[in-house]
A and B are shown apart, each in its own frame.
Chain A
Amino acid sequence: GAVVSQHPSWVICKSGTSVKIECRSLDFQATTMFWYRQFPKQSLMLMATSNEGSKATYEQGVEKDKFLINHASLTLSTLTVTSAHPEDSSFYICSARKGQQETQYFGPGTRLLVL
């Protein structure tokens, strides 16, 4: 199997607070994990690529100091949205790649609403 979980599934927070989202590969080791953001009725937007034990690679236009990514183990990557603002409200989805395979398996996503 290739199961990826995310926690929490829903977050509502006040503007200015930080939110941490966890992404776990449950039955395989993921050398690479990806973080995406998706606004309503829009396509997936890759935010960053996270490799275990190294710094994440951010896509152009994504602020690395605002979206902190930590890939501390082969089964866990975290995304922290720092000082969240209403415009950060979105659907955040992680995916994990199994070993050297290119197939990505997606987590169920986390809906963030910043008030």
Chain B
Amino acid sequence: QKEVEQNSGPLSVPEGAIASLNCTYSDRGSQSFFWYRQYSGKSPELIMFIYSNGDKEDGRFTAQLNKASQYVSLLIRDSQPSDSATYLCAVTPSRAGGFKTIFGAGTRLFVKA
């Protein structure tokens, strides 16, 4: 079982719709969760981080964390064609893991104009 799993996609949504990206992780003691966006040919850029159960909103982005289900998601409201990219979920395991952040393989998102 992979430590951080994401559906590779592609996930295709029409412009203006809500895009929902999902991620599961295996280490129940994980403490920190991150979403990065990576455009083709570019390096990842941080979108959001979340530490506590529940929702965290930043503009059009909402991160949702459910530690009991070992699940973290990213919602993108009013999706724009410029949101088309690969979204990487990253998890920092429990302190026993030595703070090494584990990245998922990413979900490709296409927003159709």
Q: Bin the interface of chain A by size.
A: 10 to 19
Contact of A49 among B32, B92, B100 (CB under 8 A): B100
The interface centre, meaning the residue of B31, B34, B36, B101 with most chain A CB atoms within 10 A of its CB, is B101
Near A by CB (< 8 A), chain B positions 4-63 give 31-32, 34, 36, 42-46, 49
Residues of B within 8 A of A49 (CB): 100
Closest to B8 in A: A43
Number of B interface residues in the complex (CB < 8 A): 20
Verify B45–A43 contact, CB threshold 8 A.
no
Verify B92–A102 contact, CB threshold 8 A.
yes
The interface centre, meaning the residue of B43, B88, B90 with most chain A CB atoms within 10 A of its CB, is B43
10 of the cross-chain contacts (CB-CB < 8 Å) are A43-B103, A43-B104, A46-B103, A93-B43, A93-B44, A102-B31, A102-B99, A103-B49, A106-B43, A109-B43
